[in-house]
Chains A and B, each alone.
Chain A
Amino acid sequence: MRRREFLGLIAPSVLVMGGLLVLPLYRTVEWSLQRVNYGEAGTFVGLDNYSAALSDPRLGRAVLFTVGLTAVVVATLIVGGYLLAVMVNGLGRSKPFVLGFLLISYVVPNIVGATMFSWLFDANFGGVVNHLVSTLTGHEVLWFIDPWPNRLVIALDTIWFMLPFSMLVIIAGLQGVPAEVIEASRIDGASTFRTHWSVIIPSIRGVLGFVAIISIMDVLRTFDQLVPLSPQATQIGNESIMLYIYNVAFQDGGQQLGLGSAINVLLILLIVILLYPFIRGIAKEARQA
């Protein structure tokens, strides 16, 4: 390939990445060191924003909640996505219809889906799940103001929303596992569980790593579903990092853009730390291939 062709082909990507990724990242880091109001040049304040962010107990609670939610949801997405993928992969002619049906929750806008999901637990709007739980247990569960029931609702909604993605990617991985390898394991007398655990799962480790990476990034950025699902998130310790950033930087016309940027930089660092083992594993696998 000629140099000019190469440059012509990569130039659009470089421009888009520069405009949408590098420039905002640079501006975020720059603002994190400034006091910034809309429409005005920032004033350099050194590490004051980082100091303010790290001394706010709300940030600690937000990190704890977000990381906990990420751990539970990602683990469920991988296990649940795998089981669902195996079941759907085994279907015959009905597979496209079942797949299409299962993908509905993924294509519904997150905020709309979360609002509808909240109604399942809200007595004001019928609250089918709330009614069932109250009838079965004899207790009125306060889904929106008690921290743990609310965390359960948030986790269930996030899993409901993201499970189809996980399932879809894992199905693609399953279809790449050679049939003769599975057949050989059965001839060797491996049980179904053993075949999955020792043959199929190691074969699609890269795919599972990919699902983990994307899911971790998505759940760490949990934001819009908390608006309908946790209206009292700040008071009950269910404020995600993104919601905390929004509340600090923008709510009610607030203008703490410098502080918001500093928390954003800290969030980026957190994402990098949590993704490092997965990225390292995938890179290692790619080198071996």
Chain B
Amino acid sequence: MPQPRTTVVRALATTISAALLLTACGAGSRTSSSTAAQVDCDFPAPSKATSVNVLAYNSSAIDPFTNTMVKSCSKNQVTVKHEPIDFAGQVQKTTATLAGDTGTYDVVETYGFIIPKYAGEQKLRPLDEYVAEFDQEYGLSDINKAMRQAMSYDGKLYGLPMQAQMYVMAYRKDVFESLGLKPPTTFAELRDVAGKIQQAGQIKYPVALPLLASSDIATAYDSALGSLGVDYVDATTMTPNFDKPEAAKAFDELRSLAPFMDPQVTTFDQPRVQQQMYNGSAAVAIMFSGRMNDLTQASNSKFSQQFGFAPPPSVAGGDVLYNTLSVDGWSIPTNAAADPKMLFEMIASSVSADASKASVPAAYPARDGIVTPGSSPYAEAAQVSIGKAPPAEPHPWTSRISNDTRTVVADVVLGNTPVAEGTAQMQQIAAKILAEYKK
């Protein structure tokens, strides 16, 4: 019979061994390095050992840039650290790390939508002087001018663009061919196509859109409004546009797709829409381009070879599509502890020409000439889509209005609130936010 003391020692040893084994599994980079490229990252060694913490959400389009930075810049006494996190987590941690005099992160992933807010509050460091200094070394002039503009505020660059995402429409070629259908170019055509697929009886709910009521639905409404040629706010008079007829029409058009979508569509985020396409329960999906590469993987779906790609339709005809162009990039917080010049070299290396080439086809890099129509099955559609996206609204109030009106948008799309009442509520919410900026 074992002595109690021996048992305790054995239990202790087992626990310590298990703990060591688990920590060993997580040592080094916490993200998959399969998408990492090895590129030049030539910063001078700091005088003492330094840790650089990177905040960036995980997705197949962002990971190549993050992993390249971790792999290529962890040297010279510097350890670049990145913990896996989802987008919602990144949003919260960005708010928290930028708040005080000191922050947890030295490099944060940002996007055009939030740049005006944080740049206006001086929470991000302007990057223009570093771009001028390292332009030659990292070929920064090749970064698309419009994307640099999207990451700028008040004439200064606050985020070094890495990649862009825009809506792309994925559809089942086999289903469309068997019914003699063409990819729709307007919402009216989308309804027509979806009706015919429904009538054919193969697919009950042919259209799949990410309309998650707690998140994606605000982007969907903004895309519909933008396609109708209207911004959230008239920036010259600083008055909200939710009292315009287009604000109501955007709701009507989104709701007109309801008969062709899963009744539970307002619980679907992008991964769930992907899942609908993977398992064949939908025939048309409109999502950000960063989700398209997953559709083409045979390991994800037996229909991987059957997916065709096209630009998203416009809501009511015209050149502006049902679309949102989102430019992602790297920013350096004003309160970052590490040397900003060294941090800039790190972010510049992660968007270098080699790193950008390695990110294709998962991402749509910000450098001109990297993506060609032959780069991926959806590259051509993405290129058309990016040129026909509604213009960005680079103002500090945009993200706040989007956030604060989201619940109302969800209630209107779900039919809980009449359209007229919903737009009136949104007008009121937006006017209250704008009043703060008029002071």
Tell me how far the C-beta of A258 lies from the nearest C-beta in chain B, rounded to whole angstroms: 15
Residues of chain B from 63 to 113 with CB closer than 8 A to chain A in the complex: 88, 91-92, 94-96, 99-101
* Structural contact, B96 and A123, CB atoms closer than 8 A: no
> Does B23 belong to the interface (CB within 8 Å)?
no
**A145/B275 in contact, CB under 8 A:** no
Please measure, in the bound complex, the distance between the C-alpha atom of A232 and the C-alpha atom of B216, giving whole angstroms: 12
Interchain CB contact under 8 A, B100 and A39:
yes
Chain B residues 269 to 316 lying within 8 A of chain A, measured CB to CB, are 269, 272, 275-276, 279, 281
Q: By the criterion CB–CB under 8 Å, are B94 and A39 in contact?
A: no
Binds B, one of A24-32, A154-162, A249-257: A249-257
- B411 CB-CB contact with A under 8 Å: yes
How many interface residues does A have (CB within 8 Å)?
A: 24
Q: Which of A38, A145, A231, A247 contacts B100 (CB 8 A)?
A: A38
Q: Which of A38-76 contact B (CB under 8 A)?
A: 38-40
Contact call A253/B91, Cβ cutoff below 8 A? yes
Assess the B96–A232 pair: CB atoms within 8 A. no
Q: Give B18 Cβ to nearest chain A Cβ, in Å.
A: 15
Q: How many residues of B contact A (CB 8 A)?
A: 30
A37 touches B99 (CB 8 A): yes
A38 near B99 (CB under 8 angstroms)? yes
In the complex, identify which listed stretch (B150-158, B260-268, B387-395) lies at the interface while the others stay far away: B260-268
* B95 and A255 contact, CB distance less than 8 A: yes
On whether the beta carbons of A145 and B214 are closer than 8 Å, the reply is no
A142 to B92, Cβ gap below 8 A? no
**Which of A140, A232, A252 is B213 in contact with, Cβ under 8 Å?**
A232
List residues 376-423 of chain B with CB under 8 A from any CB of chain A: 403, 406-407, 410-411, 414, 416
Nearest Cβ on chain A to B208's Cβ, whole angstroms: 10
Give chain A interface residues in 101-139, CB to chain B under 8 Å.
123-125
A235 touches B416 (CB 8 A): yes
- A250–B214 CB distance below 8 A: no
The smallest C-beta distance from B326 to any residue of chain A, in angstroms, reads 15
B402 — nearest CB in chain A belongs to which residue? A252
Near B by CB (< 8 A), chain A positions 232-249 give 232-235, 247
Knowing that A247-B214, A253-B114 are A-B contacts, what are 20 other residue pairs whose CB atoms are under 8 Å apart, sorted by A's residue number?
A38-B95, A39-B99, A124-B275, A124-B276, A124-B279, A124-B281, A125-B275, A144-B267, A231-B213, A231-B266, A232-B266, A234-B407, A235-B407, A250-B92, A251-B214, A252-B91, A253-B91, A254-B95, A254-B403, A255-B95
